[in-house]
């Protein structure tokens, strides 16, 4: 399982209570896998967020999904590999198979116009990239290399500041080869055999030592570089970026600390230091300028790597307890033992699935529930997922109500939406003012516990209140996390 809470769903005075769970324990087991910006439910449905989708939104057309990877790649139950992308202008989703790939082991976007994947058999494929995403139809298999378990990349810099990208491939039998981005020739890395893992230019050997390939090289010596042992690191069990965990569960930092912002950023190379504030560390992650540690007892801690030096007694702050799995990028998505998902850290593009665009969250926030809306037995394709506030479910403006026979009009200047029913025997006019929060039903003001709202230009309306005014019956299926609407 790859390593992303639920905001609890109270109805308004005019809507019946939706019986959403009062604790996250009710969600236990509903999510089978997740990535930093997506999740998979046990029914094989796939849900993604970030960008224009501020909360988990189902990607319709993707079924029987079992694993989620970077670059919007997924693996289905039959081990076929698929790429999906959403057109920002039309919201249309395109789903294409990666030809020839069977399962996925490693994904690396190493160049602006190309990504590499290693499938479960160890074959390597290059997939072109355009401004909208990967282009599966132009995938090509890379000849001359096989049995690959992981792909990494780093940059070599000469004294003249010429930069060259280097690709590094860890093979299943433990050897490592390197190549230029052209992928025309593969050279064994001297001394790197019996390797357990690679991270950028670093490699972990089976004997617990860590070795690095130089990032600064002579202009004529790029093909002759040799790895050097990182002194001070021994008996290491895992590496992840600039973090290492030894076989006694102690956490080490051996990378670069940082100060400043934008053009004033300065990095400080640090010798390996053992951090004494946390013990029994299971996993470690670097997210933005934070070092995060997950301990064997399920506690998640973080500390800053800002400054000239990270002290051995650096203070770690407790983020959460009862943590089972973590997925890290510039932010964290983590799952608790009760099955719920939480997000923490960087959130500029709604990476936490919480439903807002705050730059970051210093405290963990709940990833919104992946709730499907079913109308007369058919799943409704939403432009954005269901948002729950004060136990009330809200859906995007035009996602459901036009299917229920409502006519919608939007006054952009006044920021007012009007819904009109079509039943001549039951005149209906609902007006919602997003500036004032005032909602009117046939000219009379109604008191909604949570008024309608907008999230980054998407207008949300209360699902039950409007649906029932239009004559529909609304039921919450807690076990399946579905809202069933019946309308005749």
Q: Does domain 372-486 have CATH number 3.30.70.2860?
A: no
156-194: burial string, b at 16+ Cβ within 10 Å, e else: beeeeeeeeebbbbbbeeeebbbbbeebeeeeebeebee
Q: Against a cut of 0.75, is the pTM above it? A: yes
DSSP annotation of 329: S
Cβ atoms of 46 and 15 closer than 8 Å = no
Residue-level pLDDT at 173? 97
DSSP annotation of 255: S
Q: Nearest 5°: phi and psi at 215?
A: -90, -20
Alpha-carbon distance of 458 to 155, in angstroms, equals: 41
- 213: tokens are 């390939």
Beta pairing class for 372-375 and 482-486: parallel
Alpha-carbon distance of 365 to 345, in angstroms, equals: 9
Residue-level pLDDT at 226? 85
Residue-level pLDDT at 424? 81
Residue-level pLDDT at 224? 66
Distances (CA, A) of 150 to 5, 124, 201, 318: 32, 10, 13, 32
Please choose, from the candidates 242, 316, 255, 251, the residue with its C-alpha nearest in 3D space to the C-alpha of residue 282: 251
Contacts of residue 386, defined as CB under 8 A and 6 or more positions apart, other chains included, come to 55, 368, 369, 371, 373, 393, 394, 395, 463, 483
Q: Which mean pLDDT values do the consecutive 10-residue runs of the chain (488 residues) have?
A: 30 27 46 96 96 96 95 97 91 94 94 92 96 92 97 86 87 95 92 94 96 80 76 96 96 94 90 97 96 98 96 97 96 96 97 96 96 94 92 88 90 91 86 90 90 88 91 88 92
Contacts of residue 205, defined as CB under 8 A and 6 or more positions apart, other chains included, come to 192, 194, 195, 196, 211
Helices then strands, counting H and E runs in the chain, come out as 1, 48
Beta pairing class for 38-41 and 331-336: unpaired
Cβ atoms of 170 and 192 closer than 8 Å = no
Report the first-to-last Cα separation within the chain, whole angstroms.
Answer: 42
Q: What is the DSSP string of 406-467?
A: -EEEEETTTTEEEEE---TTS--EEEEETTT--EEETTEEE--SS--EEETTEEEEEHHHHH
3-state secondary structure 306-327: ECCCCCCCCCCEEEECCEEEEE
Residue-level pLDDT at 11? 25
Give bridge partners of residue 116 from the DSSP assignment: 108, 126
Residue-level pLDDT at 27? 41
């Amino acid at each position: 399982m790859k390593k992303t809470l639920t905001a609890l769903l109270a109805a308004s005075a005019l809507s019946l209570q939706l019986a959403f769970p009062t604790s996250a324990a009710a969600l236990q087991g509903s999510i089978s896998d997740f990535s930093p910006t997506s999740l998979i439910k046990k029914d094989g449905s796939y849900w993604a967020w970030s960008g224009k989708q501020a909360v988990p939104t189902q990607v319709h057309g993707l079924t029987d999904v079992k694993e989620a990877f970077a670059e919007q790649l997924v693996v289905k139950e039959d081990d076929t590999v698929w790429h999906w992308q959403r057109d920002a202008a039309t919201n249309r989703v395109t789903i294409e198979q990666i030809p020839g790939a069977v399962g996925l082991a490693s994904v690396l976007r190493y160049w602006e116009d190309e990504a590499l994947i290693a499938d479960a058999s160890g074959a390597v494929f290059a997939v072109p990239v355009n401004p909208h995403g990967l282009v599966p139809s132009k995938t090509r298999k890379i000849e001359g290399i096989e049995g690959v378990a992981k792909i990494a990349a780093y940059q070599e810099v000469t004294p003249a500041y010429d930069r060259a990208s280097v690709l590094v491939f860890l093979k299943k039998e433990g050897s490592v080869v390197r190549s230029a981005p052209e992928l025309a020739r593969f050279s064994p890395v001297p001394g790197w055999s019996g390797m357990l893992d690679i991270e950028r230019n670093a490699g972990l050997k089976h004997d617990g030592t860590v070795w690095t390939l130089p990032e600064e090289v002579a202009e004529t010596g790029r093909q002759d570089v040799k790895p050097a042992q990182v002194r001070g690191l021994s008996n290491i069990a895992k590496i992840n970026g600039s973090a290492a965990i030894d076989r006694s569960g102690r956490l080490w930092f051996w990378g670069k600390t940082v100060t400043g912002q934008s053009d004033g950023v300065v990095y400080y190379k640090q010798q390996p230091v053992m951090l004494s504030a946390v013990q029994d560390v299971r996993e470690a992650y670097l997210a933005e300028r934070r070092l995060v540690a997950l301990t064997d007892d399920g506690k998640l801690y973080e500390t800053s790597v800002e400054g000239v030096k990270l002290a051995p007694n650096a203070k770690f702050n407790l983020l959460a307890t009862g943590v089972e799995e973590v997925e890290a990028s510039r932010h964290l998505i983590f799952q608790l033992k009760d099955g719920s998902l939480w997000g923490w850290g960087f959130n500029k593009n709604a990476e936490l699935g919480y439903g807002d665009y705050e730059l970051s969250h210093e405290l963990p926030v709940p990833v919104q529930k992946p709730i499907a809306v079913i109308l007369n037995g058919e799943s409704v394709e939403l432009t954005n997922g269901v948002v729950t506030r004060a136990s009330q479910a809200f859906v995007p403006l035009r996602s459901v109500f036009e299917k229920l026979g409502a006519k919608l009009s939007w006054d952009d200047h006044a920021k007012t939406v009007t819904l009109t029913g079509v039943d001549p025997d039951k005149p209906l006019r609902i007006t919602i003012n997003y500036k004032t929060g005032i909602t009117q039903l046939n000219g009379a003001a109604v008191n909604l516990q949570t008024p309608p709202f907008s999230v980054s230009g998407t207008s949300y309306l209360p699902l039950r209140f409007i649906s029932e005014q239009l004559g529909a019956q609304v039921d919450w299926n807690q076990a399946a996390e579905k809202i069933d609407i019946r309308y005749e």
